[in-house]
Amino acid sequence: MKITVVGTGYVGLVTGACFSEVGHEVLCVDNNEQKVAMLNRLEMPIYEDGLEAMVRKNVEEGRLRFTSCIKEGTEFSEVIFVAVGTPPGRSGEANLSYVEQVGREVAEHMTSYHLLVEKSTVPVNTSEQLKRTMTKYLRADIDFDVASNPEFLREGRAIPDALNPSRVVVGVESKRALLLLQEVYKPIMERSGCRLLEMDIASAELTKHASNSFLAMKISYINAVSRICELTGANVEKVAEGMGLDPRIGPEFLRAGVGYGGSCFPKDVDAFVHISERLGYSFDLLKDVQKVNREQREHVFSKIKKELWVVENKRIAILGIAFKPGTDDYREAPALYFVNELAEHGATLRLWDPIAAPHFKKEFPQHTYCEDLMECVQDADLVLVMTEWPEIKALDIQALKKAMKSPVMIDGRNVFDPEVLREAGFIYHSVGRL
């Protein structure tokens, strides 16, 4: 089957590569010509485990191509997946201008039936606006469908997730659209055995916001519990384990830490709060989820201030920039907040991250970046752990202590065992554990 994917970011590129991997013929379109040129040179604009090899293989075998021409993309296939960004707007609502632009441009180039599939995360009822826009820009009376097919992949595990999804949600309003999406997903369903859930478009759109907001809520919940743990001497990891073994709760997303970040949870929770408000419902539960998340960062920052007393001119090593291990994505990463706050307080920052550092450095060139962890912590007054990269967990604690000016660690991800660190002579603070 021929498939067009518009947008070659974390979602579009992985989706396009995986569709080609299962045997479809895929054309990926991106209006960023630099990105398309990179991809045509088989250079990956993002890091995702296994992506480069998969792209290379499918390009070489003739099933995957890249272009910046939306007209070509429209002519290539009757099924067009829209995987462009939906970043937060000025007041937190989803910015749908990229989605709108694709709808407009596809409509302008359409000469026969097309199915436009929302893969991007969009607020409920976006399809209605998209249909209105497309109708306005069509050059003739041509039939088309819009469908919703939200993406649930996790960065860092994007390829296995896309090839073995927990579920495929499709929101459709015509038999034709359903049949096309069933054909697209047939090879993935066959190899993974997962279910394709058919529903109306609004429910499919809502499923994505509801899922991400629920996961964010779990994180904020355990972070709120971690505050009670700190006030009572309880250990949040023990509490989370005790909770998580209940199959009604489950162990995932119950790790206390510095709060959720990344390109999805903060913006999706915000967008869900906004669309709810617009529809006449004040989603106070989610507003509290956001408040807990904000306060968690501030709370961890207060531990730094308490320990250092004066932050100005202190040398601080920040270990980890990416919002989680396995990705180079630092959009809304907690590290951003700490870099800004610490710099504002006059600290000297040294940063280490195995994948995200080169991109981050372009945006924040004023700090020092180290490829080697031990070089990063050299003469540091304090080490701050922001991402649970395995390299950090594997650090030689004695060597770390020796390298630092003063052995103080604030562990925002509960990577280390407090007892081990304290026995080694560290002043050690983590989250929800004494």
- Where in the sequence numbering do the catalytic residues fall? 264
Contacting residue, 32, 174, 182, 348, with ligand NAD by CB under 6 A:
32
Query: Would you say 272 or 428 has its CB closer to ligand NAD?
Result: 272
Give 208-248 as a DSSP string. Answer: HHHHHHHHHHHHHHHHHHHHHHHHHT--HHHHHHHHHTSTT
Calpha distance 332→258 (Å, rounded): 12
For the bound state, the minimum distance from the C-beta of residue 46 to ligand NAD, rounded and expressed in Å, comes to 7
Polymer length in residues for the chain: 434
Site string for ligand NAD, 67-106 (x = CB under 6 A): ----------------xxxx-----------x--xx----
129 binds ligand NAD (CB under 6 A): no
Query: Would you say 307 or 329 has its CB closer to ligand NAD?
Result: 329
Residues 6+ apart with CB under 8 A from 418: 428, 430, 433, 434
For the bound state, the minimum distance from the C-beta of residue 333 to ligand NAD, rounded and expressed in Å, comes to 13
Which tokens in the block code for residue 428?
């050690």
Burial of residue 28 (CB within 10 Å: 0-12, 13-18, 19+) is: buried
Single-letter amino acid code for the residue at 39: L
As a dihedral over the C-alpha atoms of residue 264, residue 221, residue 324, residue 10, rounded to 10 degrees, the angle is -20
Which of these, 102, 63, 66, 62, lies nearest to 81 by C-alpha position?
Answer: 102
6 binds ligand NAD (CB under 6 A): yes
Q: Which 8-27 residues touch ligand NAD, going by CB under 6 A?
A: 8-12
Contact segment (CB under 6 A) with ligand NAD among 149-157, 196-204, 345-353, 389-397 equals: 149-157
Contact segment (CB under 6 A) with ligand NAD among 29-37, 133-141, 170-178, 189-197 equals: 29-37
Q: Is the CA virtual torsion 424, 429, 433, 434 positive or negative?
A: positive
> Are 19 and 123 within 8 A, CB to CB?
no
Contact segment (CB under 6 A) with ligand NAD among 150-158, 236-244, 282-290, 354-362 equals: 150-158
> Are 168 and 195 within 8 A, CB to CB?
yes
Which tokens in the block code for residue 259?
């709060």
Burial of residue 408 (CB within 10 Å: 0-12, 13-18, 19+) is: buried
Q: Which 154-193 residues touch ligand NAD, going by CB under 6 A?
A: 155
Burial of residue 371 (CB within 10 Å: 0-12, 13-18, 19+) is: exposed
121 binds ligand NAD (CB under 6 A): yes
For the bound state, the minimum distance from the C-beta of residue 390 to ligand NAD, rounded and expressed in Å, comes to 21
35 binds ligand NAD (CB under 6 A): yes
Contacting residue, 5, 7, 96, 286, with ligand NAD by CB under 6 A:
7
Contact segment (CB under 6 A) with ligand NAD among 47-55, 128-136, 147-155, 159-167 equals: 147-155
> Are 408 and 234 within 8 A, CB to CB?
no
Query: Would you say 81 or 426 has its CB closer to ligand NAD?
Result: 81
For the bound state, the minimum distance from the C-beta of residue 211 to ligand NAD, rounded and expressed in Å, comes to 10
Residues 6+ apart with CB under 8 A from 309: none
Q: Which 342-361 residues touch ligand NAD, going by CB under 6 A?
A: none
> Are 362 and 384 within 8 A, CB to CB?
no
Contacting residue, 22, 115, 117, 153, with ligand NAD by CB under 6 A:
153
Query: Would you say 30 or 381 has its CB closer to ligand NAD?
Result: 30
332 binds ligand NAD (CB under 6 A): no
Q: Which 263-322 residues touch ligand NAD, going by CB under 6 A?
A: 263-264
Q: If you ran DSSP here, which 8-state letter would residue 61 be given?
A: T
Query: Would you say 155 or 237 has its CB closer to ligand NAD?
Result: 155
As a dihedral over the C-alpha atoms of residue 153, residue 157, residue 160, residue 164, rounded to 10 degrees, the angle is -40
For the bound state, the minimum distance from the C-beta of residue 82 to ligand NAD, rounded and expressed in Å, comes to 9
414 binds ligand NAD (CB under 6 A): no
Query: Would you say 169 or 239 has its CB closer to ligand NAD?
Result: 169
328 binds ligand NAD (CB under 6 A): no
Give the interface with ligand NAD as residue ranges (CB under 6 A).
6-12, 29-32, 35, 83-86, 98, 101-102, 120-121, 151, 153, 155, 263-264
